[in-house]
Amino acid sequence: MTHYILVHGAWEGPWSWDYVAPALERQDHSVTSVDLHGRTENDDNIRNTTMESYVQVVLDEISRHDQKVVLVGHSMAGAVISLVAEQVPDRIERLVYVAAFLLKDGDSVLGAMQRDPDGEFLPELVFSEDQSSATATAQTWRSKAFHDVRENRILEALPLVDVPQATEPFMAKVQVSPEKFGSVPKVYIRTAVDKMVSPKLQDEMLKTWPVEQEHVLQSGHFPTLSVPETLAELLI
């Protein structure tokens, strides 16, 4: 039995894996969907939310398991799982990037988004006065993120993403090495009609590190909501 640790992206919570986790469990695998903090309107929580704090949440979860785990990251969580792998490469069976940021050493999520020629989400963000957090409108989520998600799931998700997201994790520089992070097997699941992390940016990132397997889903940025059963099959 494999244990999967599922790590959500920005603005999301463990709920974003609600349709994927049961599909994994039906195949007799165990699953944990971690909850990265800092997704509330509390100003102190926003200020205390950093890439380091995200990494620590995942490290704490890994420490609860005796076996190696499969670490799955969606979107911004690609940077999180990379940093986790740099610290505990011997505890991870493989890393799986789902439309996620597979960054080179010294890069950041924000830097990658700014280079994305077809990224449509970043220009729509509304930043707080002190730049410590960002939000997006319901229309932006509908047109740039959930454009291929069925309506009932959009209606479930919209209230849950209507919160400020701390910006520090986007700006944090990723520090990873070939000796540690590079030694962990990697799988990348591409999203062919993604408007948040475009196929062109995915192309660029896949030149950064070798991956053992590469898959393509005909989905937008949230295959966790649009094609969760197909995604689960690929994870297995």
How does pLDDT run across 91-129, given as a tens digit for each residue? 999 999 999 999 999 999 999 999 999 999 999 999 999
Q: Comparing C-alpha atoms, which of 62, 1, 56 is closest to residue 28? A: 1
Class (C level, CATH) for 3-235: alpha beta
Q: How confident is the model at residue 11 (pLDDT cuts 50, 70, 90)?
A: very high
Phi first, then psi: give them for residue 189, nearest 5 degrees.
-110, 110
Question: Is residue 43 pLDDT above 70, yes or no?
Answer: no
Which residue matches tokens 């077809």? 118
Question: Is residue 38 pLDDT above 70, yes or no?
Answer: no
Percent composition of the chain: helix, strand, coil (DSSP 3-state, to 5):
40, 15, 45
Q: Helices 77-87 and 51-62 meet at what angle, rounded to 10?
A: 60
Phi first, then psi: give them for residue 42, nearest 5 degrees.
-70, 120
What's the CA gap between 112 and 109, in Å, rounded?
A: 5
Please state, as a whole number, how many other Cβ atoms lie within 10 Å of the Cβ of residue 151: 9
- The mean pLDDT value for 4-24 works out to 96
Q: Comparing C-alpha atoms, which of 100, 88, 84, 70 is closest to residue 8? A: 100
Q: Where are the domains of the chain?
A: 3-235
